[in-house]
Amino acid sequence: MNIDNNEITRTITQDKEKGFRLLMAKFSEPLYWHIRRLVVSHDDAQDVEQETFIKAYRSIDRLDNKDALTAWIYRIATRQALTLLEQNKKTTLMSEALGEQDAMADMTADSYVDFSDLEAVRLQKAILSLPRKQQLAFNLRYYDEMDYDQIAQVAETTATTARVNYHLAKEKIKRYMQQEL
């Protein structure tokens, strides 16, 4: 849903619940996909997204920079997703070899995956084999079309690091996909 961030922050100031509903209307879907790309499992993504919005509702009054609403909500979602992955003791993002096996295991176990699109499956395998920071930078740039400053705010790093991570990720994915061809 195409709602202006300024309208959301203005509405929150006047009517918190109404503004929060606008926030959910705008970000539910993109956040879901962002989380899903990290955690793979639909059930995990559902839990993480729900927790994300609950945390957002509690802390929205403390949002300092109203202009950074997108980066703020994505940052909460990313933290929640990574916390879940840590809790599940997944090694997906930590090593290339093991990560791919775990990612495929998660994908195979999940009933909300369409394996008929082989190229899409291969691309996700490639992304999931990357180190965490590269995966994040790539997803946020490629799928969410964020600029490097926004990626830096979400990933809690610098714009330069975000740029480097994105390009490294892109090269690794290309090599991976070319091997599979």
Question: Which residues contribute to the site for other proteins (CB under 8 A)?
Answer: 21, 24-25, 28-29, 32-33, 36-37, 40, 42, 46, 49-50, 53-54, 57, 107, 112-115, 117, 119-121, 123-124, 142-143, 170, 173-174, 177-178, 181
Indicate the residue among 45 and 71 with the shorter CB distance to other proteins. Answer: 45
Residue 25 vs 105, nearer CB to other proteins: 25
Tell me the C-alpha to C-alpha distance, in Å, between residue 19 and each of 10, 46, 59, 68, 74.
8, 22, 13, 16, 17
> Residue 98 CB, nearest distance to other proteins (Å)?
21
Our CB check for other proteins shows the closer of 57 and 157 to be: 57
In the three-class reduction of DSSP (H, G, I as helix; E, B as strand; rest coil), residue 143 is classed as coil
**Residue that has been written with the tokens 């802390």 in this structure:** 59
Cα separation, 134 vs 118, whole angstroms: 23
Residue 102, both tokens: 């775990």
CB of 20 to other proteins, least distance (A): 9
Note whether 28 and 138 are within 8 A (CB). Answer: no
